[in-house]
Amino acid sequence: MRYLYKALTALGSYQAQRVMGIATLATLLATVVIGLFIVPPDATQGDVQRLMYVHVPIAWVTFMSFGVTFLASVGYLITKRIQWDRVAAASAEIGVGACALTIVLGSLWGRPVWGTWWTWDPRLTTTAVLLLIYVGYLSLRKVADSPARRAKWSAVLGVIGFIDVPIVHESVVWWRSLHQQATVLRLGAPTIAASMLATLLLGFVAFSLAYGYLMAVRLRVGRLEDRSSVPVSSLSAPRASRPRAAGISTTSIPTSVGSDGHA
Amino acid sequence: MHNAGYVAAGYSLTLVTLVGYRWLLTIRTRRAREYVSTITRRSRDKRRRS
């Protein structure tokens, strides 16, 4: 847990962000060019299968985001450190965007292949439920009246909500589904051609980097927004009398910021 | 390219979402930074006057 936070803090420095931003751009560009123009089209589905190179990695980012939210929520419930709450909120926000994008991309892929934009298939339905759970998570964060209560309530939901992630992944195995089964994360060898698999893996790298980059920026915004909600009286107080960053009080949010020194 | 519209829409939407979210974070950073500097300045002035 401590290592996860250390890794996220290291990603928060401007230099790391810059490098990650450039790497994200380069790998995204490579994924788009290779996915659209170089890899051959699928024998059955034709060119529309090219949507796989963005749809599947974004679904992976969704799972990763909610996984980080789960870990950070557990971290908050154990340690009561506000930093964990910030990590959980940042990751959930990115996860909600990725989950919505996964559904839309799946819909764009489903229309020409299945003949419908949407169907109440187990994979689609459980993914829609996942989106609703985390939209609820973000809404809950808006309605809580104190930072401590907000952090506690959302940490509980962040833990409970994660139960749906394995259900989404296994839904194609447990129930009869229109959605295809796992082709990469399965027992035995992947069932797709090597060139398609390589492009898909490049997509995973590109979108994982994009997640890391957006997380680093979002964490900085989170620290700043927490600072901007500190009462004026506490800002004018001498530095020594400020509350410690490690704890959280119901009356004010810690004013100290991350180790990058920018926020 | 068959069904090119769906593919183009999917890729465009993905890139627009990524760029849009990054832009939104820039706006939020700027707003929070302005707010923090304003209240810090205001409280410093108040302390000086008192």
Predicted confidence (pLDDT) per residue in A53-112, tens digit: 999 999 999 999 999 999 999 999 999 998 899 999 999 999 999 999 999 999 999 999
| A259 belongs to a structural domain | no
Residue A213 lies inside a defined structural domain of this protein: yes
Residue A260 lies in a domain: no
User: What proportion of chain A, given as a percentage, has pLDDT over 70?
Assistant: 80
What residues in B contact A46, CB-CB < 8 Å?
A: 2-3
Burial B4-43 (b: 16+ CB within 10 A, else e): eebbeebbeebeebbeebbeebeebbeebbeebeebeeeb
Interface size, chain A vs chain B, as Cβ–Cβ contacts under 8 Å: 87
Would residue A62 count as lying in a domain?
yes
Domain assignment present for residue A250? The answer is no
Q: Is the pTM of this model over 0.95?
A: no
Out of A53-62, A164-173, A237-246, least confident range: A237-246
Going by the DSSP 8-state scheme, the letter that residue A40 receives in this structure is P
Pick B39's closest partner by Cβ from A94, A214, A235.
A235
β-sheet bridge partners, residue A42: A46
Give the CA angle between residues A127, A78, A75 to the nearest 5°.
45
With a cut of 50, say whether residue A189 has pLDDT above it: yes
Given this model, what pLDDT does residue A247 score? 40
Does A99 map to a domain? yes
Query: Which residue segment(s) compose the domain that A169 sits in?
Result: 17-229
Q: Which of A175, A173, A85, A95 is nearest to A130 (CA)?
A: A95
The total domain count for chain A is 1
Q: Which residues of B touch A50 (CB under 8 A)?
A: 7
List of residues 6+ apart from A84 with CB closer than 8 A: A5, A72, A73, A75, A76, A155
Query: How much is the average pLDDT of B28-32?
Result: 89
Query: From A233, which residue of chain B is nearest by alpha-carbon distance?
Result: B43
Q: pLDDT (tens digit, 9 = 90+) per residue, A100-150?
A: 999 999 999 999 988 889 989 899 999 999 999 999 999 999 887 788 889
B33 in contact with A, Cβ within 8 Å: yes
Cα separation of A174 and A163, whole Å? Answer: 15
CA angle B28, A228, A221 (to 5 degrees): 35
Between A36, A111, A218, which is nearest B11 by CB?
A: A36
ipTM score for this prediction: 0.84
